[in-house]
Amino acid sequence: MLLEDSESKVGVPYLVDCDEEGNKCVLDIITITDFKTSSEGKVQVYITGSLQGDERLGPQIAFYLIEYLVSNFKRDVFITHLLQTREIIITPMPNAYGYAKDTRKELTFNLDSNNTVARDPIRDFPYNNTESACLNTVAARTLYRLFVDNLFVTAITFHGGYKTAIGYPWGSFNHGTQTSAGVYIGLKSPDFKAFEVLGQAMKESAGGEIPFTDSSEMIEEYELGNIIETIFPASGSFTDWAYGGGWDIEDPYATQATCDPLTQPPLDEDFFTRTVTENVRTAIFRVETDPS
């Protein structure tokens, strides 16, 4: 296991404090693989806890997964084979400030002043968005660089939803249609069949309804479908950019070539080029866990 942070790995520093002692927030990046095995031919996988700091279950799932994989390496034949053929990169708390403060958004410094503004990382990506509304947060900048610098075949992003759902692209307004009743219908992505097959396996693995002990409440069975219909449509989402950022470029309402963030620190001129985003074409799932 290799533990790094956003500044050392991808050059994205945290500027705000996470405690009363003035310690800066840290966005941890964990790489799990068999480092003695050649990286050639290994499949890269990405998993992240919630981008919103007040959704608490995703980071716990990520930490448990890290512990499970590391403790069972060389003890379980399947886990050992997995880590000899995969490189798994995990960010348990991509919104480190939000998680530390138990708040949805990340605190940022304005580019032209030292005034702070809370911004939502989940809507901070260059897809179906405006140039000034993307890559303003440490979380979004870090995930952007991770996806540009690597070739993730599959990914999961956890959220603490109002329902239990496994969603896949598309989830943006430009890939949906609105009925006369105001309901959005999602268009099928080119990889619709693959998403359905993989998602169904995830759904079956999660099991059906789970009753709470000494309670009439129930964790409901996961609903599977595109994000527009199973959750809701949104602009600037991580999932749509992570899936279509490298190829969905002809539609002017899809991938943006550049962003013009309003926050510190300013981005280098070479941060955006079309060639660096060609890797961004990941089969990604958004898992909405039970809100309890």
pLDDT digits (tens, 9 = 90+) for 135-163: 999 999 999 999 999 999 999 999 987 78
Q: Are 92 and 99 in contact (CB under 8 A)?
A: no
Q: Are 104 and 119 in contact (CB under 8 A)?
A: no
pLDDT at 292 over 60: no
Identify the bridge partners of residue 211 per DSSP, sorted by sequence position.
218
3-class SS at 118?
Answer: strand
Number of helical (H) and strand (E) elements in the chain, helices listed first = 8, 14
Q: Indicate the helix (H) or strand (E) that contains 7.
A: helix 6-10
| 140-146-147-148 Cα dihedral, nearest 10 degrees | 100
What is the pLDDT confidence band of residue 273, given thresholds at 50, 70 and 90? low
For position 278, what pLDDT does the model report? Answer: 83
For position 140, what pLDDT does the model report? Answer: 97
For position 181, what pLDDT does the model report? Answer: 86
Q: How far apart are CA 118 and CA 108, in angstroms?
A: 6
According to DSSP, residue 276 is labeled G
3-class SS at 40?
Answer: coil
- Looking at per-residue pLDDT, the higher value among 207 and 97 belongs to 97
Please tell me the least confidently modeled range out of 24-33, 38-47, 97-106, 268-277.
268-277
User: CB within 8 A of 220, min separation 6: which ones?
Assistant: 163, 164, 209, 290
3-class SS at 32?
Answer: strand
What is the pLDDT confidence band of residue 241, given thresholds at 50, 70 and 90? very high
Tell me the average pLDDT of the chain. Answer: 92
Q: Are 143 and 238 in contact (CB under 8 A)?
A: yes
For 60, left (φ over 0), alpha (ψ -120 to 50), or beta?
Answer: alpha
User: CB within 8 A of 114, min separation 6: which ones?
Assistant: none
Q: Which domains does the chain have, with CATH numbers?
A: 2-289 (3.40.630.10)
pLDDT at 219 over 80: no
Please tell me the least confidently modeled range out of 44-53, 54-63, 274-283.
274-283
